[in-house]
Amino acid sequence: MTPANITTRLATPADAAAIAAIYNEGIADRVATFETEPRTPEQIAALLTDKGDKFPTVVAERDGTVIAWAGAGAYRARPAYAGVAEHSVYVARAARGTGAGRVTLIALCRLYAERGFWKILSRIFPENTASLALHEKCGFRVVGIYRRHGKLEGQWRDCVIVERLLP
C-alpha cells in the first residue's frame, strides 16, 4: 500500500536541486554517509547524466515536491557482478517517518529487477537504525558488518552490509 499522495518516478537533471538538498541533509546528519562536503545541484545533475539509463535514480514526490530519492551504481567493475547494484536512499527530514523511504526503495528495487539486476545491496552505519528498519521492511537481510570500514571526522565507523535478491 502506497502512503497517501506519494508517487515515484525516474529522476531527471531538473530534480538535481531537490536531490542535492535532501542529500546534503543526510551529509549534515552524519549518520548516512562518509561524505562531509555538501553537493551542488550541478554536481548532482552531472551524476544523473553520467549514470544515464544504466543506473537510474528514483524520486518520490508528495504534492509535486521531491521528498526522497534512491539511486544506485555498479557494485564492482568485474563482469561477474554486472547484475549487482549498490544503492543509497535518502529522505528529506520533513518527510521522515511518512513511508516515503519505503515507497522509494521498493520502486528502485522493482526498476532494477526489470533491468535484469539480480541483487541490490548497501552499507549502513549501525547507528542509522531508521535505515536498517527501512531495509528490513523492504525485504533486505543483514549479511554482516564491516568493522572499522572508514573514518568519519577522525572516528572509525562500522558498516552493516544489507542485501536483497531481486526476482
pLDDT digits (tens, 9 = 90+) for 76-132: 999 999 999 999 999 999 999 999 999 999 999 999 999 999 999 999 999 999 999
Residues in the chain: 167
Find the angle CA(83)-CA(102)-CA(65) to the nearest 5 degrees: 105
Report residue 52's pLDDT band, with 50, 70 and 90 as the boundaries: confident
Domain chopping of the chain, boundaries: 6-165
Report residue 2's pLDDT band, with 50, 70 and 90 as the boundaries: low
Q: CATH for 6-165?
A: 3.40.630.30
Phi, psi values for residue 18, rounded to 5°: -65, -45
pLDDT at residue number 1: 53
Q: Distance (Å, rounded) from C-alpha 1 to C-alpha 67? A: 18
Cell of 100: 516515503
Query: Whose CA is closest to 109, among 162, 66, 167?
Result: 167
Angstrom CA distances, 36 to 22, 49, 116, 146, 153, stand at 14, 23, 33, 20, 8
